[in-house]
Amino acid sequence: MQRVVVVTGANSGIGLALCERLLTEDTQLRLCLACRNMQRAEAARDTLLTSHADARVDLLHLDVGSVESVLAAAQEVKARYSRVDFLYLNAGIMPNPQVDVKAFFKGLFSTNVVNMFSTAEGILTQQDRVNADGLQEVFATNLFGHFLLIRELEPLLCEAGHTSRVVWTSSSNARRSAFNIEDLQHRNGTEPYSSSKYASDLLSLALSKHKNSQGLFSSVICPGLVMTNLTYGILPSFFWTLIMPIMWLIRIFTNTFTLTPSNGAEALHWLFLQKPESLDPRAKYHSLTSGLGANYTQPRQMDIDDDMSEVLYSKLLELEKEVRRKLSERNADDKAETVPQ
């Protein structure tokens, strides 16, 4: 049977590499690249069609950081497909990243060095901003837009007699201490990325609890450290060129330096092949690469608790209501303005 797979942020990095791998796995796939930039989306489709000439690759305009765009994209998905088998929630941003050089060198000579290189704990901050919907941009893009997309696609994801999957691209940078349930959007902190990724871990567990009975299964992955536009944006390009040999050297000692997008997509691909009932909703599935370059997937228990995950879920439902109310008020105002007096 032809499976329908939707991938957000599919035009570059891990998302594009996943598409490539999925098309190699299943030639019958109906793959939908959900991207905010249609020019880049078309370039990605051309790349995919070069190696898979007969593949069915659709494009969908989706800016996951805009409520209006998510609602319009979901309508389009419902018009095009009768169900969605896999929804990969992969789009993500890390705006204005800053590496704390002093903390980095301190960490380099401490016992925490391995943890620092695999999670960036204590050395990475970002500067966030408020978007046009009045939401914090990182929260809106990495978490809330995806939540809204799931909510809108529930009729296609929760079909009787059929299982569907959502898969979140989380991160080893997801940390409980960066997340505050009283400040979901991370308005008052300097680690919005870490907070949004931790929130996706919590949300995935809540989705599993609430939706498994309706055939929807949610999982979380960590791609490791991958060289993509997102990582290249963290340091000046000459610095990356300079340290690249060191990165490949470090890879011999740590399996989390997956480095290439294709390696990073390992766990996303692996999940595609698993029976959903066999998966652990409390585990994060890590893409890992051995020193000799062999890829594998390993589940690791997440540092999450049920109560917090439930509270987050109900807060997101509340926020969804508020956002929808604001949007319909805005639309009503716009209509009133265009009616001739």
For residues 149 and 131, give the distance between their C-alpha atoms in angstroms, rounded to a whole number. 18
Shortest spacing between CB 335 and ligand NDP, in angstroms: 27
Burial 194-208, CB ≥16 within 10 A → b, else e: bbbbbbbbbbbbbbb
For residues 154 and 87, give the distance between their C-alpha atoms in angstroms, rounded to a whole number. 11
C-alpha closest to that of 151 among 280, 313, 6:
313
Subset of 245-284 contacting ligand LLCNDLXC (CB under 6 A):
246-247, 250
With contacts defined by CB under 6 A, name the span among 11-19, 53-61, 102-110, 180-188 that binds ligand NDP.
Answer: 11-19
Shortest spacing between CB 229 and ligand LLCNDLXC, in angstroms: 11
Subset of 38-57 contacting ligand LLCNDLXC (CB under 6 A):
none
Shortest spacing between CB 99 and ligand LLCNDLXC, in angstroms: 5
Tell me the site size for ligand NDP, rule CB under 6 A: 29
Binding residue (CB under 6 A) for ligand NDP from 119, 126, 171, 287:
171
Subset of 74-113 contacting ligand LLCNDLXC (CB under 6 A):
99
Catalytic-labelled residue, pool 193, 198, 285, 313? 193
Is 232 catalytic? The answer is: no
Q: Is 35 in the site for ligand NDP (CB under 6 A)?
A: yes
Binding residue (CB under 6 A) for ligand LLCNDLXC from 231, 254, 297, 298:
231
Binding residue (CB under 6 A) for ligand NDP from 75, 229, 328, 331:
229
Q: Is 119 in the site for ligand LLCNDLXC (CB under 6 A)?
A: yes
Q: Structure tokens of 131?
A: 């978007």
Shortest spacing between CB 316 and ligand LLCNDLXC, in angstroms: 21
Q: Structure tokens of 331?
A: 């639309």
User: Could you give phi then psi for residue 287, rounded to 5 degrees?
Assistant: -80, 125
| The pairing of beta strand 86-89 with beta strand 164-169 | parallel
- 171 or 218: CB nearest ligand NDP: 171
In the complex, which residue's CB is closest to ligand LLCNDLXC?
Answer: 171
Q: Where are the alpha helices (DSSP H) in 32-100?
A: 38-51, 67-80
Q: Which does 246 bind (CB under 5 to 8 A by kind): ligand NDP, ligand LLCNDLXC, none?
A: ligand LLCNDLXC
What is the number of other CB atoms lying within 10 angstroms of the CB of residue 291?
Answer: 11
Q: Which residue has the tokens 């066999």?
A: 278
- 245 or 340: CB nearest ligand LLCNDLXC: 245
How much of the chain is helix, strand and coil, in % rounded to 5?
50, 15, 30
Burial 248-259, CB ≥16 within 10 A → b, else e: eebbeebbbbbb
Site mask, ligand LLCNDLXC, residues 148-167, x = CB under 6 A? Answer: --------------------
Q: Is 171 in the site for ligand LLCNDLXC (CB under 6 A)?
A: yes
User: Could you give phi then psi for residue 278, rounded to 5 degrees?
Assistant: -85, -5
Q: Are 257 and 250 in contact (CB under 8 A)?
A: yes
DSSP character string of 180-212? -GGGTT-TT-S-HHHHHHHHHHHHHHHHHHHHG
Q: How far does Cα 231 stand from its chain's mean position?
A: 15
Shortest spacing between CB 151 and ligand LLCNDLXC, in angstroms: 25
Question: Footprint of ligand LLCNDLXC on this chain (CB under 6 A)?
Answer: 99, 117, 119-120, 123-124, 171-173, 225, 231, 234-235, 243, 246-247, 250
Question: Footprint of ligand NDP on this chain (CB under 6 A)?
Answer: 8-9, 11-15, 35-37, 40, 62-65, 90-93, 141, 169, 171, 223, 225-226, 228-231
